[in-house]
Amino acid sequence: MQSSIVIAAHNEGRRLSWTLAACLDGIAELDYEIVVVDDASADGSVQAAAALFPQIRVVRNPVRAGVSAAKGRGAQEARGDVIVFLDGHTKPTPGSIERLVHVVERLGRDAVVTPQVVALDEADWELDRSRVGNGYFLDLLTLDCGWRDLSELRPVRDSGLQLYESPALIGCAFAVDRRLYARVRGFDPHMLSWGVEDLDFALKTWLLGHRILHDPQAVIGHRFRDSFDDYDVAPDHVLHNQIRTAYKNYGHTAAADWMEACRARNDESLDEHPEGLWARAWQLFGEHRGSAEQERGYLHARRVHDEIWYARRFGLEWPRLAGAGFGAAIALAGSPGPSHGPSGGPSPSPSPCSVTGITPKTVMLPVGVHQEFTAQGSNLGNVAWSTSPAGNPATGKGATFTTQWAASSSPQVTAKCGNTSATANVTVVAVSPVLTPTDNFAGRSRTRFGVGEVVKLSFTASPAATAAQLGGLRWFISSGDGTLTGTAANDGTGTYTAPATAGSTTLQLKTVAGPAPGTVVAFSTITIVAPTDAHMTQAPGTGIAHVTNTYSVGAMLSIFLRPTDVSFINVWFGEGTVNAVATGYLAGLNGTPHPPTPGVSVPCLGGNTATGSKVNGTDEASIGLHAPFLTAPFSVGDFLWDIPWNYGLTQATATTNFTTGPQHFTADAVGTATVTKKDAGPFSRAAGAPTTGF
């Protein structure tokens, strides 16, 4: 299985069902499962969600284990190669989960990938684009965390993707390969109730030599809140989790310094524990210290970096080499709150929004292709986008903007924020398919083609553009039969050969690269036509043959296949075998097989709207021209061959019947011979007429 979506839930109410609906609606092509860990919910939310979405798999904790343990159990139950962790109050935008999974795969499964997180307005469960979170930071001294603007993150170009290093992550949404998850020991099952488990996971990831990379193209909404409204979080539990994080991840000197500073800033008392907050948290830590010791040993034996490297990497004041002292300590709140929304946290006030440019600045793209534009500058969350002429959508907001146009035009895209703005110039090209049959006779159809016909494929562009300028164009058969050749150059040309059977075929011209690879920019649905009938005439320049004083007649005929608006130039025509039905004067020929020797199929020539596609050569329809001759006494007689007419794309396969060519001879009492075949004739000769040839 490609991926597992793991959701730990405790008393989420209707938000859990909204989250699941967004997951299911937003995934188009992904082999996945959804695992919901019910962490002893008491509000019936998980049961209600399971009734609405029976395809999810529910794992239940009989007693509440806490966020870290619940997520860890979900990871243990997951079957997918990539695990996507989500909170039970999130809204993935369409395609974002697939994007996270695919980015993990493209990075060789050796990095944790985080999305852009946007605050959800619970009133309408819509994303509030004015509050956007990108990278997440972690202060090693205080274990405070918060959001960073995209411009503050270190850009990384990897596997063709524009990503950003994130110092930490928020546990509400991220993706990780299950083997990497195991290597960093996953979520700590001994963390209590809520908090710090995601920071611990992030720190382990970096120190063991892996990366956390942020992908702003994946967007997931998250419900932020000012206080807990579905469960209580004890401050001693949060402090306990911080102690475990520092103890497991820091070296001895840094851990000792951290403990001293943390104890000094957390000396307040608790109503339930008069010994105080620090003493209570330390007591809780001692209850599971053995597991912390064990994980510390595992991590330190394998880590590639230490906390000093981390501080330098992400610009922290602490820890530094011995003697550098502490940075400023920020006291842990006596009653901790949940994750800060993107607009909150200890980050410095954002600088004024400033747009300095747009990428790309100039671009050429086909009609209907989605193009993403990215604003350059700082604090770009509130950038307002506009298009002229209007695209679809015409406007947008945020650091990036994706739109398209439905007709050829030369629009401008403008990004504006405050008193700053930038403009990008776009050329939108209308691409039309061009289908040119090799047998391109006057008046023929351009949407109907004979079986086996060869059609040259190309395109026109308005305004003029090459396939390379549009990202490369390639023809595909999206439905129906036939074969394509000569498309590998991605220059918008190729050759289509129709199949041997009638039907409908759709040919699509798609982009190969550019902003939206695989987009259909032009298509043509064509009808493949087999021969349905034929027409016969006397061959030009030929006469009617006869042997004097005998019953005899013969004509040389031409055959034309129909319908006439297509070409059967690659079709072979043949006549099948049938036994004659003869009576009267001709009764002695009854049962004579046609042909008297094995038939030979012949190819067809080019099409003609007046006559149809001519069968190469002529067909002799004759009787009595060769010994033994039919002589007096004469009487009335009749002879009929109802000959099957067949076609195929090779001489050997001309066996598909499409009509018959009746060949009919009659005799009267004085020996007059008459012949008709299909719609040619009648041709007659009296017995006493002079001998003539063809």
406 within 8 A of 367, measured Cβ to Cβ: yes
pLDDT tens for 96-116 read: 999 999 999 999 999 999 999
Mean pLDDT on 653-679: 95
pLDDT band for position 227 (cuts 50, 70, 90): low
Mean pLDDT on 166-177: 96
Question: Is it the case that residue 350 has pLDDT exceeding 60?
Answer: no
pLDDT band for position 351 (cuts 50, 70, 90): very low
User: How many C-alpha atoms does 263 have within 13 Å on its Cβ side?
Assistant: 11
Question: Is it the case that residue 275 has pLDDT exceeding 50?
Answer: yes
Which stretches within 571-661 are classed as H helix?
none
Distance CA 289, CA 638 (A): 111
CA distances from 81 to 77, 108, 211, 341, 518 (A): 12, 12, 18, 30, 26
Instruction: Indicate yes or no: pTM above 0.75.
Output: no
pLDDT of residue 352: 53
Distance CA 627, CA 630 (A): 8
pLDDT tens for 519-531 read: 999 999 999 999 9
pLDDT band for position 347 (cuts 50, 70, 90): very low
pLDDT band for position 341 (cuts 50, 70, 90): very low
Q: Position 198: which residue type?
A: D
Three-state helix/strand/coil letters over 141-156? CCCCEEEECHHHCEEE
Task: Using alpha carbons only, give the angle 352, 354, 355 rounded to the nearest 5 degrees.
Answer: 165
pLDDT band for position 326 (cuts 50, 70, 90): very low
- CB-CB neighbours of 317 under 10 Å: 14
Question: Is it the case that residue 229 has pLDDT exceeding 90?
Answer: no
pLDDT of residue 267: 80
Of residues 150 and 333, more confidence is placed in 150
Which of 197-222 are b and which e, b meaning 16 or more Cβ less than 10 Å from the residue's Cβ? Answer: bbbbbbbbbbbbebbbbbbbbbbbbb
pLDDT tens for 282-308 read: 999 999 999 999 999 999 999 999 999
Question: Is it the case that residue 231 has pLDDT exceeding 70?
Answer: no
CA distances from 229 to 10, 13, 196, 338 (A): 11, 11, 19, 10
133-147, 331-345, 457-471, 601-615: least confidently modelled range:
331-345
Strand locations in 21-89 (E): 32-39, 57-61, 82-87
Mean pLDDT on 324-346: 36
